[in-house]
Amino acid sequence: MLRKTSIWLTLALGVTLAGMTHAQTPGSVPADAAPKDDFLWLEDIHGIRPMEWVKRQNALTADRFATGGSFTQDRERILEVLDSDEHIPYVNRMGQYLYNFWRDKAHPRGVWRRVTLAEYRKTSPAWEVLLDIDALNQAEGKRWVFKGAQCLKPAYERCLLSLSPDGGDAVAVREFDLVRKQFVGDGFVLPVAKTEVDWIDQDTIYVGTDFGPGSMTESSYPRIVKVWKRGTPLTEATIVYDGKPTDLAVSAHHDATPGFERDFVSVAKDFFHSELFQRRDGKLLKVNVPDDATAAAHREWLLVETRSPWTVGDTTYPSGALLATRFDDFMAGKRDFTTLFAPDAHTSLASYSWTRHHLILDVLDDVKSRLEVLTPQPGAWQREPMAGAPELSTASVVDTDPDNSDEYWLGVTGFLTPSSLQYGVLGSTPVQTLKREPAFFDASKFTVSQHFVASKDGTRVPYFQIAPKTLKLDGSNRTLLYGYGGFEVSLQPTYSGSIGRAWLERGGVYVIANIRGGGEYGPAWHQAALKANRLRAYEDFAAVAQDLIHRGVTSPKHLGAEGGSNGGLLMGNMLTLYPQLFSAIACEVPLLDMKRYSHLSAGASWMAEYGNPDTADWNFIRHFSPYQNVHKDGRYPPVLFYTTTSDDRVGPVQARKMAAKMQAMDLPDVWFYENLEGGHGAGADNKQSAYMHALAYGFLWDQLQ
Whose CA is closest to 687, among 67, 54, 110?
110
Distance CA 536, CA 530 (A): 9
* Total residue count of the chain as it appears in this document: 705
Whose CA is closest to 653, among 694, 599, 605?
599
Beta strand pairing call for 196-201 and 189-193? unpaired
- Sign, CA dihedral 558-479-702-695, equals negative
Q: Which residues of 134-151 are buried (b: 16+ CB within 10 A; e: fewer)?
A: beebeeeeebbbbbebeb
428 catalytic? Reply is no
What is the DSSP track for 635-667?
----EEEEEETT--SS-SHHHHHHHHHHHHTT-
| Catalytic option among 565, 601, 605, 646 | 565
Whose CA is closest to 137, among 160, 110, 161, 176?
110
Distance CA 2, CA 486 (A): 9
Which residues are CB-neighbours of 568 under 8 A, at least 6 positions away?
587, 588, 589, 590, 591, 592, 650, 655
- Sign, CA dihedral 275-280-285-287, equals negative
| Catalytic option among 558, 623, 680, 693 | 680
Contact 527, 518 (CB under 8 A): no
565 catalytic? Reply is yes
Integer CA distances (angstroms), 262 to 205, 257, 353, in order: 14, 8, 19
Distance CA 313, CA 327 (A): 18
Strand-pairing partners, residue 348, are 364
Contact 230, 188 (CB under 8 A): yes
Beta strand pairing call for 509-513 and 479-482? parallel
Phi, psi of 307, deg, nearest 5: -110, -15
Strand-pairing partners, residue 425, are 407, 429
Kind and range of the H or E run holding 150: strand 145-151
Distance CA 79, CA 672 (A): 22
Contact 651, 36 (CB under 8 A): no
Angle CA 23–26–29, to nearest 5: 60
Which residues are CB-neighbours of 703 under 8 A, at least 6 positions away?
560, 583, 584, 637, 638, 669
3-state secondary structure of 467: strand
- Per DSSP (E only), the strands in 589-703 are 639-644, 670-675
Distance CA 289, CA 275 (A): 8
Distance CA 238, CA 453 (A): 56
Residues tagged active-site: 565, 680
